[in-house]
Amino acid sequence: MTPQRRTKIVATIGPACREPEILVRLIEAGMDVARLNFSHGSHEEHQETADRVREAANRAGRPVAILQDLPGPKLRIGAVRDGSVVLPARSEVTVVCGPVEGKVGDESVLYMDWAGLVGAIEVGESMYLADGRVRLRATAVREAEGEIDTVVEVGGAVASRQGLNIPGPADALPAVPEEDLAHLRAGIAIGVDMVALSFVRRPEDVTFVREHTRVPLIAKIEKPQAVARAEDILRVSDSVMVARGDLGIELPIEEVPMVQKRLLALAGALARPSITATQMLDSMITSPRPTRAEVADVANAILDGTDAIMLSQETAVGAYPVLAVEMMASIALHTERHAPYAEWNEKRVHRGASDPSYTVAHSACQAASDLQLDAIVVPTLSGRSARLVSAHRPDVPIYALSPGRETVRRCGLMWGVRAASMARYEITEELIAGAAARVVELGWCTPGMRVGITAGLPSGRPGSTSLFQVQVLPVPGDTWPARRAVRPDL
C-alpha cells in the first residue's frame, strides 16, 4: 500500500492562488483545507473564492474543507497608498485614531480603527506592525486630537488593514466585535465548514459565538490571556490553532516554542484537532525553496503532534503557492515515518471513565497494531468517532465514511483521516457490512484485507460508538447482509 500523508495541510487562498487552475493544482499538491481570511476582501469575493474551491475539489476528485478565519478584536491600520508603503527607520509617523473609512495613509501618517488606542499607549512604549517586523515608539500622545506621534525604530513595509500590536491586554477592545458577527453570517451563507476565532481571550468568547452558529469553532491562541486559560478554552472549542505570529509579539518570542509544545500536547490530551500556523515556510513567499530551519520547524510541529500545518502568505500572495504545498506534503510524509505511534496511542489522549468512545478508539488503534490490520474504518455521522481515533494516532490509515457532505469535508482537518460519503443505515450489522463494501468500492482497500470497523448501538445516533469488529473484506459477489439504505448515497 502506498504511504499516505497523515498530517493535513491548510492553505490560505489569496490573489496568488485563487484562479481555478491554480486551485486544482493546490488540491492535487495536497491542500486539505482552504482558508479564507476575512480580514481582507469583500463577502462577494469570498463567495466567489468558495465556489471556485468547491469546483476545483470536484475536478481534483478530493473533498476540501473551507475554513473561515474571522478578524477578531485586533487593532488594524486603515488603507495605505497603493496598498503598501515603506516606513524608513528613524522617520516620524503620526498614528491617527478613530474612523478610517475613506482615509488613506502614507509614509508620514497611518490611520487606526480604534479610538481607544490613545488611552492605551504611553510615551516611550512600542507598537508593532507586520507581525513585529516594523517597530514604532510613541514620542507624544495627544488624546484630545486622537493622535500619537511615533518614531520608526525598525523600518519596513506595511500593508493596508495590517494588524498592530501594543504592550498590555487592551481590555477595552470588545471580545467579539459586531463586525465579526456580520462576517460569520456571511460565512454561514457561503457554506463554510469551520470557523476560526481570532484573539480569543477566555472560554466565553467561544461560547458566545457558538450561540450564533453550529459550525465547528477553532480557537486561535495568540494572546497571553488565552495561553493562561488554554485548557478551559479548548474544552469549549472544536479545534485549536497555535497562531505564532501575534503570539510571538504578545509574548517574549523565546517562549513561543515551548508554548507551542504545551498547546499541542493539551490538544492531544483533549482529542481536539490542532493547527500550527504562521511563517512555517515564510521564505517561500519569494523563494522556490525553504530554509533548512523552516523545514525543521515544520517537522518538529509534526513530531509535537499537530494535526495540521498552515500556509499563510506563502500561498495567498507568494510567488510559489503550489511548490509551497508540495514542500509541506513532502516534509510531512518523510517526518511521519519517524513519529512515535506506540507512545502516542498509549499516552497522548486523556481517557476518562465516563465516555466509552475514547476507550473504543484507543482499543481500535491498539488492535490495529497488535493484529497488523490494514486499516481502521470509521462510519460516523458527526465526525466525532473519526476525531477520537485520529487523536490516538494509529499507524494504519483511518477511513471515515459519512452520509453528511459537511462531515466528510470537516474530516480534512483530522490527522490521518481520509473521508468519503456512504449511505445511512439504521441497523448496526448493515452499517458494518456497508462500510466494508464501501472502502472496497472506493478502491481504498482490496478484497481479502483485514480491517477494523467501529460502530455504535443503536446505529444512526451520533456519539454512540461502543463496539469494534475485525472483518476480512469481501470479494465482490460474496453474500453479505442486505444493504438497506435509509437514504441514497450522497
* Residue of 49, 278, 407, 454 with catalytic role: 278
Q: Which residues pair with 9 in a beta bridge?
A: 309
* Residue of 76, 137, 229, 262 with catalytic role: 76
Q: Backbone phi, then psi, for 51, in 5-degree steps? A: -60, -40
Active site annotation includes 220: yes
Query: What is the distance between the terminal CA atoms of the chain, rounded to a whole angstrom?
Result: 27
CA distance 445 to 373: 11
Active site annotation includes 278: yes
Judged by phi (left if over 0) then psi (alpha if -120 to 50, else beta), residue 156 lies in left
Contact of 12 with 317, CB cutoff 8 Å: no
Contact of 452 with 364, CB cutoff 8 Å: yes
C-alpha cell at 153: 525604530
Nearest to 11 by CA among 22, 294, 292: 22
Q: Which residue has the cell 506563502?
A: 314
* Residue of 8, 35, 74, 201 with catalytic role: 35
* Residue of 18, 74, 220, 418 with catalytic role: 220
Contact of 315 with 323, CB cutoff 8 Å: no
- Tally of CB atoms within 10 A around 214: 8
Q: Which residues pair with 453 in a beta bridge?
A: 377, 469
Catalytic positions, please?
35, 76, 220, 278
